[in-house]
A and B are shown apart, each in its own frame.
Chain A
Amino acid sequence: MKKKRIFLILILLVAVGSFMVYNYMYQDHRDIKSETPQLEITAPYLLERFKTNDGTGLLNKTITVTGTITGMEEGAITLDESVYASFSGKSSGLKVNDKIAIKGRCIGYDELFEIVKLDQCTVIK
């Protein structure tokens, strides 16, 4: 009787353990859309921060960027010639000169185009 109980407890422990390991190994990706932005900033000022080497702290952070659309591409927009934002889904109903606020993950400064890049963006307003 006692042996049986120990055996059952062992099985339970192994099951819980493997479940936790599995959950750790295959945890979900961050959901930028549902994260609370840590900063709200205008597009030109965000670029300025990276140009003056003050941007490293923003890498991988979810931020809100405001600005005017100056360029449109498939699945991405440029704000004030300073921020390039690519969307996770489709971005519809946007046009050049729209004033807009977007939320996305800051992935860094692109010195070829002198632009800050964001990915997994969603339109806030």
Chain B
Amino acid sequence: MKTIITLSIICLAFMATAFGQEKYTTKTGEITFEASVPSFEEVKAKNTNVSAVLEAETGNFAALALMKGFRFKVALMEEHFNENYIESSKYPKATFKGKITDFNFSGLSGEKAFVIKGTFNLHGTDKTMEVPATISKRNGEVWVTAQFVLRPEEFNIKIPSIVSKKIADEVNVSAVFKLQ
């Protein structure tokens, strides 16, 4: 009898830890950024292979985008982005690690606005940010979407004056993650 009780306690403890570490993940998150200036060529790229992990219990959220995965319409623009601005051979990835404030996973229903506090690492430079995000739960999937603005200068990305007129100072970033 005693062993059964002990065993069931151990089992329960295991289940609780497994529950507590419930993770939602994706490898096919999408990030689009645009730095277009009106009447100049569109400066826009998309990465559809972004990884992200959300820990349901704690609200910890992490995302990672490989810079070479960003695709532009114009091949030369893609080349310049990789070689001159983002220097993707030296800094191959951009990461975000943060925590969703006041996150209550079990109480989540429908769309809800949250703020994710965390650190961006881009071009080898860290920056603490608060990112507004919308999170919803649909058929066992968690959707995290966010729109925010980044400034290249904050990440030590230098844009030569010849082209600076054609690239906006503020880069609009939008991210969509369907986490399973």
Contact = CB atoms under 8 A, between A and B. Distances in A.
Contact of A59 (B27, B48, B53, B89): B89
A107 B66 contact: yes
A108 B75 contact: no
Interface string B101-120: 00000000000000000000
A28 B49 contact: no
B89 A30 contact: no
A12 to B, nearest CB: 25
Contacts of A30: 75
Contacts of B53: 112
What is the size category of the interface that chain A forms with chain B? 20 to 34
Interface residues of B, number: 24
B76 A59 contact: no
Contacts of B67: 108
B74 A26 contact: yes
Given A28-B75, A59-B68, A112 B51 contact: yes
Given A84-B27, A109-B92, A117 B75 contact: no
Nearest to A28: B75
Contact of A24 (B48, B52, B76, B92): B76
Nearest to B79: A27
Interface of A: 24-30, 56, 59-60, 73-76, 84, 86, 105, 107-113, 115, 117, 119
6 contacts: A26-B74, A60-B68, A73-B27, A84-B27, A112-B53, A117-B66
